């Protein structure tokens, strides 16, 4: 069985360690864990690895966050993977820092990357893992917060929280979404 992880973020060094790029950070941490590397391909940096008996392709779109749908759809089609065997990894303001929420469908919740995916797939019926980045900003400061660098305090816990999210992704792939949701939603590591 094949699976696709779409780790959302923005390309470029100015975005590399921002909250909005938590998908890319998670993908890079998985690369370290499973000893794989990304290669540039159509619309994305792409890597493959095996998780037990599952072949997993992970992509980091190179189209910027707001155009994440095109690479998502392209790689689903190219690899002939059903969208039910894919998962988008995104940052989420509405969740406390480090908390994750897995859903198999839903709305974009105002997230521009998810909005574009929904437009390209013509449905909100696709899995996603939302990684909480919190909402510790003043009125009108959302963009600066999301595109801002992690604080020193956040950086202390980031590796632990990323590892927790990786375990949740592994559970989605190996045991299925219902079990992963009951085990990981609403809990921090």
pLDDT per residue as tens digits for the range 92-137: 999 999 999 999 999 888 898 999 999 999 999 999 999 999 988 8
Please provide the DSSP assignment of 65-123 as one string.
GGGTHHHHHHHHHHHT--GGGEEEEEEETTS-TT-EEEESS---TT-HHHHHHHHHHTS
Query: Residue 62 sits in which domain range?
Result: 2-184
Residue of 62, 66, 32, 65 whose CA lies nearest to 49: 32
* Domain membership flag for residue 189: no
Q: The pTM is what?
A: 0.94
Q: From 66, 7, 3, select the one nearest 31 (Cα to Cα).
A: 7
**Using 50, 70 and 90 to split pLDDT, how confident is the model at 15?**
very high
The dihedral formed by the CA atoms of 60, 61, 64 and 66, expressed in degrees to the nearest 10? -110
Please indicate, yes or no, if residue 99 is contained in any of the structural domains.
yes
State the Cα torsion 93-98-99-104 to the nearest 10°. Answer: 70
The confidence band for 173, taking pLDDT boundaries of 50, 70 and 90, is very high
Residue 96 lies inside a defined structural domain of this protein: yes
**20 in catalytic set:** yes
22: in domain = yes
Per DSSP, what are the bridge partners of residue 132?
Answer: 92
Look at residue 59 and tell me if it is in a domain: yes
| Domain contains 45 | yes
Determine, yes or no, domain membership for 160.
yes
Does 19 map to a domain? yes
Q: Which of 20, 85, 111, 164 is catalytic?
A: 20
Cα(5)–Cα(26) distance, integer angstroms: 11
Residues 36-62 pLDDT 10s:
999 999 999 999 999 999 999 999 999
Kindly indicate the confidence band of residue 187, based on its pLDDT and cuts at 50, 70 and 90.
low
Token pair 């790029």 is found at 21
- As a whole number, the mean pLDDT across the chain is 94
The CATH number for 7's domain is: 3.40.50.1470
Counting the structural domains of the chain, the total is 1
């Amino acid at each position: 069985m094949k699976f696709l992880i779409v780790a959302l973020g923005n390309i470029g060094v100015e975005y590399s360690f921002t909250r909005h790029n938590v998908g890319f950070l998670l993908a890079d941490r998985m690369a370290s864990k499973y000893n794989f590397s990304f290669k540039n391909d159509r619309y994305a940096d792409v890597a493959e690895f095996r998780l037990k008996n599952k072949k997993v392709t992970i992509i980091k779109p190179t189209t910027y966050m707001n155009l994440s749908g095109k690479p998502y759809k392209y790689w689903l089609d190219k690899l002939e993977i059903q969208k039910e065997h894919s998962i988008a990894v995104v940052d989420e303001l509405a969740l406390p820092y480090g908390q994750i929420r897995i859903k198999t469908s839903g709305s974009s919740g105002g997230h521009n990357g998810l909005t574009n995916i929904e437009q390209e797939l013509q449905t909100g019926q696709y899995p996603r893992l939302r990684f909480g980045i919190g909402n510790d900003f003043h009125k009108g400061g959302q963009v600066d917060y999301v595109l801002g660098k992690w604080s020193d305090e956040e950086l202390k816990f980031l590796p632990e929280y990323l590892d927790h999210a990786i375990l949740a992704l592994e559970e989605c792939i190996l045991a299925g979404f219902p079990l992963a949701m009951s085990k990981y939603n609403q809990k921090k590591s």
